[in-house]
Amino acid sequence: MSVAHHAGPAAARGRLYRAGDYPGFVPGPDGVVAGDLFLLPDDPAVLNRIDEYEECAAHFPQPWEYRRERLTVHAGDGPVQAWAYVYARDVSALQWIESGDFLR
């Protein structure tokens, strides 16, 4: 049984980069990045499990590739505060995805 419920598309200010076969999101004033908003239960164990998957739990050696950060995203009902996994490494050698949509 899934604990995450899809709430719909959302967008955040920033840039998206290709970090191998997966995206790296960097928040900022330039650009808009497309994504999806999921509703999760208010349970620290759920976020801890996602931190494990993203390898940014406390026991993983630093520097981490991602960090969990709360930011404002824009969904169908307007702005909302949400957790996002932000790319935490240097992006200067990565390909910028100008469309802001990794799947496009």
How does pLDDT run along the chain (104 residues), one tens digit per residue?
578 999 999 999 999 999 999 999 999 999 999 999 999 998 999 999 999 999 999 999 999 999 999 999 999 999 999 999 999 999 999 999 999 999 98
CATH architecture of 5-94: Roll (3.10)
Assessment of whether the complete model's pTM goes beyond 0.95:
no
Q: Which of 97, 91, 19, 18 is nearest to 55 (CA)?
A: 19
CB 7 within 8 A of CB 75: yes
Token pair, residue 66, equals 């991602």
